[in-house]
Amino acid sequence: MILAAGFLPVDSFNVLVLAAVFILVAVGLHFTFGMLNVVNLVHGELILIGAYTAFQIQQETGNVLLGMALAPLVAGMVGGAMERGVLRFLYDRPLDSLLATFGLSVIIRQVVQLIFSPNPRTLRDPIGGSFVVSGFNIPWWRLVIVIATVVVVVGVSLLLSRTSFGLHARATVVNPGLAETMGVNTGLVRAGLFAIGSAIAGLAGAMLAPISTLNPQFGLLFLVNSFLVVILGGKGSLRGLILAGVVLGGSLAVLQFVISTVLAQIIVLAIAIVGVRVRPLLGQARQERKGRRPRPLSL
Amino acid sequence: MTAVLTVQGLSAGYGRTIVLRDVSFEVGEGEVACIMGRNGAGKTTLLRSLMGVLPKTGTVRILDADVSHWPGHRINAAGMVWVTQEDSVFPGLTVREHLYIALGGEGVDEGIEAAASLFPVLGERLGQEAQTLSGGERKMLGLAQALIVKPRVVLMDEPTEGVAPVLVEGLIPAIAAVARKAAVVLVEQNIDTALALGSKAHVLERGAIVESGNVQELHDRGVLEQRLAL
């Protein structure tokens, strides 16, 4: 039906871009929610911080790329400070951590509004220019977003599977008590995970701002989708997250082609809800459903 | 003999429930102090508090260092390791990765070689996820993690509990070997194991030490059998 309706290579590229966007905004949440189990409602504001950091540096120096390089640093430091200052006391109190992240998200949004006003801002496309696919001009920046998403996912995968920090992180996530008594500084590992997740959120915000309109509500655009991707993928599974990003982002792009954007978003939301209810793609939730989850550990 | 581990006036519990009351003892290098008592006497709570998992009052020293209020990872770095009763492992992590964590990333090749020579079955399963090992093999992994780091103090919580007799025969000499170079606190309900490994015994009842002395002497006087209601 789609082909019959004239689905062109350019539309295939849009599927790729939207899937990349879904994945990029969710990778940070993989650390803070998927691994640390914090229902991190401030994730959208970490995306916002990244975007406004890039914007401010663009205004000060005229160099957007410098802003994009510094955005993850700023968001990572803010996230690390939130973890050390507030969230580390709340790991065993999920409701309190949810309220705390909600409160922090409101505070950050209001502060951004006070500093930058509610007026929409524009972050310049750092490289400009476009290439032509089936007669349509496609900005090079969209291709950069796809490539950056691949680089981030590969980097995160290597970090978690091939480094000492990654090993300590995986141990801390599944059994913090045992990890601590085996010499792992679990407090530091958790702070590191939260800071890295926040930094990736900041990077996502900075990279996506040029293809969107920047205002204090900018982060909220991505919050729900990020949670949907992580939950549908199966909490704690990076492979599941990628698969869910492709399913949800791809579905949205295809549906937007054949029906209205609003209806497409409703259908994608329904796909996610049904998917989560029936079959998380990978990760902890799926293991629990299959009865594979090992018995709770008592440490 | 210089005490490697000194415990003075230790009290600990869960919330408002006090489980351990004013516990004091010392363990020197090459000594195995058996902590014995019925279920619920506070034996495992004692190990948890020594390892920094539970808040406590009182003093715990490793040689000259007061580790009473240190977090678990610092206590581990000071030379104290814990072989848990639950043969706990990290789901998703391989045997090799467990040994890597125990070694703190240092001397990994030598450490893994040492573990494989202590327990050849582990050497054959380095790439296998630890949660898929049998209960006895997990016990071996727990012991290997403790033994390959050359610890000063080893806390062991019923290391032979639930292990097939044929495997226990292999575990006892391994524990005895580490005990020659470290101070060992062994929680044990099995009198035969305590006699095979222990030098001193401390009997816990309702969180307090009610009997202390040489394991063999306490056994000969029938104290252990009486206190453990055997």
pLDDT at B106 over 50: yes
Q: How far is CA A11 from CA A14, A49, A111, A250, A299, in A?
A: 5, 31, 38, 10, 51
Chain A interface disruption, residue of B45, B54, B67, B90, most A CBs within 10 A: B90
Contact state of B72 with A187 under an 8 Å Cβ cutoff: no
Measured distance CA(B223)–CA(B4) in Å, rounded? 27
Contact state of A181 with B102 under an 8 Å Cβ cutoff: no
Give the pLDDT confidence of B1-18 residue by residue, as tens digits. Answer: 689 999 999 999 888 888
**B135 interfacial to chain A (CB closer than 8 Å):** no
pLDDT at A297 over 70: no
- Which of B90-101 are b and which e, b meaning 16 or more Cβ less than 10 Å from the residue's Cβ? bbbbbbbbbbbb
Mean pLDDT of B132-157: 89
Nearest-neighbour CA in chain A from B77: distance (Å): 6
What's the pTM?
0.88
**A221 interfacial to chain B (CB closer than 8 Å):** no
Helix (H) or strand (E) holding B58: strand B56-62
Measured distance CA(B77)–CA(B83) in Å, rounded? 15
Give the pLDDT confidence of A116-172 residue by residue, as tens digits. Answer: 999 999 999 999 888 888 788 889 999 999 999 999 999 999 999 999 999 999 999
Q: For residue B138, which residues of chain A lie inside 8 Å, CB to CB?
A: none
**Phi, psi of A156, deg, nearest 5:** -65, -40
Rg (C-alpha) for chain B, rounded Å, is 17
DSSP-derived 3-state class of residue A34: helix
- How do beta strands B183-187 and B153-157 pair? parallel
At A293 the pLDDT is 45
* CA B27 and chain centroid, separation: 13
Pure H helices in A86-219: 94-116, 140-162, 164-174, 176-181, 186-208
Nearest-neighbour CA in chain A from B110: distance (Å): 18
**A181 interfacial to chain B (CB closer than 8 Å):** yes
Q: Report which of B57, B33, B55 is spatially closest to residue B43, judged by C-alpha positions.
A: B33
At A7 the pLDDT is 63
Measured distance CA(A298)–CA(B86) in Å, rounded? 8
Q: How far is CA B222 from CA A162, A257, B226, in A?
A: 55, 85, 6
Report the DSSP beta bridge partners of residue B81. Answer: B154
Residue pairs spanning A and B at CB distance below 8 A: 71
Chain A interface disruption, residue of B44, B48, B73, most A CBs within 10 A: B73
- Tokens 């909490």 appear where? A235
B158 conformational bin, left if phi > 0, alpha if psi -120 to 50, beta if neither:
left
pLDDT at A279 over 70: no
Give the pLDDT confidence of A65-100 residue by residue, as tens digits. Answer: 999 999 999 999 999 999 999 999 999 999 999 999
Measured distance CA(B75)–CA(A194) in Å, rounded? 25
At A282 the pLDDT is 62
- Output the DSSP codes for B139-190: HHHHHHHHHTT--SEEEEE-TTTT--HHHHHHHHHHHHHHHTTSEEEEE---
Mean pLDDT of A265-292: 69
Confidence class for position B76, pLDDT limits 50, 70, 90: very high
**Poorest-pLDDT segment among A166-180, A208-222, B134-148, B159-173:** B159-173
**A167 interfacial to chain B (CB closer than 8 Å):** yes
Nearest CA in chain B to A171: B90
